[in-house]
A and B are shown apart, each in its own frame.
Chain A
């Protein structure tokens, strides 16, 4: 009798919340299942946060730049710099990578909160420092997405983190735990990884930003022990003390603080260059490195080959220090939701 009841549970997932959790629990842990769960939780939270806005209030956004300075009347907590660009110019819309709101770098798809001054940043301006940094950061995130989806089902990949983007280092990086001791990818395998990056770029996914409560973040990343340990530290450093910024690109959800580019289609030539094993305080991780150029930047094969060669050298970015249970200070424990 009991077995048939359990079989029914597995065969027909009912819509009740508690049964769905048990459904996830009973399935074998694969990256595909985990990704699906994360995007569903993200979508639910995004809908909930959108529903909190009942009245539409107006804000004045002063735009400075080409073709002329102007003032736009936009919706508070709903309109994004992307929407402002839609009002201005096709060229501005296509080339803008990140926005600058009152001197602070701002995602293109992040809602504006109050009256502000707005500028757009792109790759071909005189000093594209912030645009380049956002590009490098987004490339790391995309690399994480690729690593989570490209391995066979019997390997459960746990993404650790990526260091702060440093374009001058020559490569963008993601540190990942593959739970295998040795992996020396062949040229063909690296080409496959690069192809997956290109596929993501062609799919033109938006980078959606969401500020979530730390407890919800823990629920989203409950299957990744690295993220679970990082979330309390990140939440403590946020302005409210209890929120974590989460990004979604396609079906991939990730924690990151800094601004991302607006769309994966800004990625042009990209190659995953090398994989290096690195030793951390809590075991071995693999540092996957790549190099990329924004779309529209053409370069001959020889010069691009020099960039690839440089990206093969081990990146000098910070080796992650994994906070274990012992290292967590007591005052940073979270209160129960």
Chain B
């Protein structure tokens, strides 16, 4: 049994999420059926248009590029929305980041740990969905308390390359269309005006975050890699069954293969959430977060979604809560490099000597 983002208890197929470390009671259900979705749902607007050669002169093409640069260079001018105050049950917006690599870090007592670098690339809030509108699509979210949503986009796309329908989502806000969109469920006091930029400084070193992403697509895999089966010996008379699954049923009264039987099949390309990862370092110039652990779902360059952690032992208090609803970096000075107090910083002096008398 696990807690999901809104504090609801859910049943999960724990055996699948923990891989070879199977629990004593294996939960057998149809939750793993139809995991692969090669196309987004049909009701979402198509993002990219069919490409055709446009017979524009070079002067005209550069003119349109200039118009795009002029139109979208100035920051959003609109009446500022009121900024909500933090309370104990507040849920902030998350950010969309790209996994850019893995790097080792050392703590002050010499422990080496691997961290993943996550770059928050050009995030903007696209839309705010108030609780009454969210009720239409996500009834469960509003069961315990009024929940709102923010649609956040990452990475600007060329407006000439997207379809008109997709472009219309952004034209009201006056920002360039985005390559990646995501919906974050929030409490209404954490709302942000459409067009607000989100940076890595939304978090601070020492915060704990949950990172969600899509795992690497490993394709069709056998039971040894997919489920951690032990296989059979390479020699000593084993006939054609070195990496196979062996028996798939017990025979007897059940007389069938039970649902959820582990077999070869498609592995990877699934959404997984890693919980309680500590943020060790933030670079505010390049918007990079150093997050503990080398196993963030996805390959280098893939998108991940970062939220404040939901673990009950990582709850914020009134004294240590993060900037709410976000850190408005354009309004204040901020250091370029922010480090967790436990982190050893190579650029700082390690040892200082007192003056000899």
Contact = CB atoms under 8 A, between A and B. Distances in A.
Interface of A: 124, 297-303, 306
A302 B49 CA distance: 12
Interface residues of B, number: 15
A124 B52 CA distance: 17
B245 interface: no
Interface string B47-61: 001001111100000
Contact of A303 (B52, B56, B163): B56
Interface of B: 49, 52-56, 64, 67-68, 159-161, 163-164, 167
Contacts of B49: 300-301
Nearest to A304: B164
A298 B50 CA distance: 11
A301 B163 CA distance: 8
B52 A298 contact: yes
A303 B159 CA distance: 9
A311 to B, nearest CB: 15
B54 A300 contact: yes
A302 B52 contact: no
Given A300-B160, A302-B167, 7 more contacts: A298-B53, A300-B49, A300-B54, A302-B64, A302-B160, A303-B54, A306-B64
Contacts of B64: 302-303, 306
B54 A299 contact: yes
Contacts of A298: 52-55
Nearest to A298: B52
Contacts of A300: 49, 54, 160-161
User: What 9 A-B pairs have minimum CB-CB distances, sorted nearest first?
Assistant: A301-B164, A300-B160, A302-B159, A298-B52, A302-B160, A303-B64, A299-B54, A298-B54, A297-B55
Contacts of A124: 55
A187 to B, nearest CB: 13
A297 to B, nearest CB: 6
Nearest to A309: B67
B53 A303 contact: no
Contacts of B161: 300
Contacts of A302: 64, 68, 159-160, 167
A124 B49 CA distance: 25
Nearest to B158: A302
Q: Looking at A298, A300, A303, A306, which has the most chain B CB atoms within 10 Å of its CB?
A: A300
A301 B167 contact: yes
A307 B55 CA distance: 15
A302 B159 CA distance: 6
26 contacts: A297-B55, A298-B52, A298-B53, A298-B54, A298-B55, A299-B54, A299-B56, A300-B49, A300-B54, A300-B160, A300-B161, A301-B49, A301-B163, A301-B164, A301-B167, A302-B64, A302-B68, A302-B159, A302-B160, A302-B167, A303-B54, A303-B56, A303-B64, A303-B160, A306-B64, A306-B67
